Structure 1
């Protein structure tokens, strides 16, 4: 049999179009696993705590960490216009008096990218070198991505908070937003810096 007539095995070119889908599915599986993450133990002390709003468990967790002495300063980024420290502390079962003067109610952020800008300005003003980030576990990868862009010099410590109940639609939507942020699409939405 001449060399040119050797029979080759089946072509694997059909895998090329499937590769992006396989990568996306693999990434989704990793992302879903990360959405069940818990804070490290024992908890390290950091210079500051940043709570990215979106659920009461996040704010409660951040205030309790501050009350326990896990940091000197705390920012609640994206806080509602009418939210007060007194109201939030009482809802968390804490006395607001010892927290006063240590908590900043950041009201400028309207997105995760906005959180990054708001937290960066706050952290630089206080010369923060390490920052505990409190947000929902499913939101943590994108939050850390945006914060690393604005605070590359600061050590970030993830403190994921678990959302109540399974939410597959929310996970898919957040995974899509994470991919968009990784591709740099989050910068396309205008976000005014905090004032």
Structure 2
């Protein structure tokens, strides 16, 4: 009986991993939202957020998880084409250090700015856990659009992220 239970759990875990690895979230079409949030930590995420802001489909952008050593002028210098937006429309979030605190920082920003619709930009392999945390942090009534930046993740990276996702889900069920 115990061996069958373990085998069943292992089978469910393996099928879940196959789903997680083979059906990664995709980029979303550019459509209007109140704001865009970009979670730092990987290539092309900020570029995608700026693309949406420059399209005029969103008026505000939060870059969450900016390293405390980064100075706003340094970040502006990396994106000279978008420099005008750093003065009016881009908020830099220095408080978060992980996905969970990204979600809390985003929720506070959304509340301060009376946002009802948000576009979440992160890598395809990170989207499910980021969205899980954001859904827990945001008040009800805020609609989130997933906008995944495509990558070529390694099997090891996917394995690690899948396990983080499930560990976080179990922790939340336990109230942690």
**TM-score normalised over the length of structure 1:** 0.81
Q: 2:142 aligns with which of 131, 149, 154?
A: 154
* Aligned-pair CA distance for 1:101: 1.9
Contact 1:63 1:89 in 2 (8 A): no
Secondary structure, counterpart of 1:94 in structure 2: helix
Q: 2:28 aligns with which of 15, 40, 44?
A: 40
- Whether 2:20 is the aligned partner of 1:31: answer yes
Q: What is the CA RMSD across the aligned residues, in angstroms?
A: 2.2
- Whether 2:63 is the aligned partner of 1:57: answer no
Q: 1:112 aligns with which of 88, 99, 103?
A: 99
Equivalent positions of 1:102-181 (< 5 A) are: 102-151=89-138, 152-163=140-151, 165-181=152-168
Whose Rg is larger?
A: 1
- How many residue pairs are counted as aligned between the two chains? 174
* Residue deviations 1:60-99 (CA, integer Å, cap 9, x gap): 1111211111211110000112334544354345231144
Secondary structure, counterpart of 2:81 in structure 1: coil
* Residue deviations 1:16-59 (CA, integer Å, cap 9, x gap): 33110010011101111233x32133x22100101011013111
Instruction: Give the distance between the partners of 1:171 and 1:102, measured in 2 at CA.
Output: 34
Instruction: Give the distance between the partners of 1:51 and 1:95, measured in 2 at CA.
Output: 15
**TM-score normalised over the length of structure 2:** 0.89
Unaligned runs of 5+ in 2: none
Richer in helix (by share):
2
* Residue deviations 1:143-179 (CA, integer Å, cap 9, x gap): 000000011331010000122x341111111001000
